[in-house]
Amino acid sequence: MAVIRTQFTLRLDPVNHAKIKKIAASESRTMTNMIEFLIKKEIMRYEPENGEIQVTDDDIYLE
């Protein structure tokens, strides 16, 4: 089964872009994969402190 992914525009300042690019390269990841990894990591850090983020079918949609 194919994985469905949403797409959006992300604007980064040049310094953060360069830093993430270097981190991604050092871990043999693409920029996109590195950003997705960092987001997942932050959600995993956030939820134990603040409670699970409830997501409904209405929250998940394809544009």
| Largest CA-CA distance found in the chain, in angstroms, rounded | 38
pLDDT at 5: 83
> Pick from 58, 61, 42: which is nearest to 50 by CA?
42
| DSSP secondary structure code for residue 45 in this structure | H
Give pLDDT tens digits along the chain (63 positions): 667 788 889 999 999 999 999 999 999 999 999 999 999 999 999 999 999 999 988 888 765
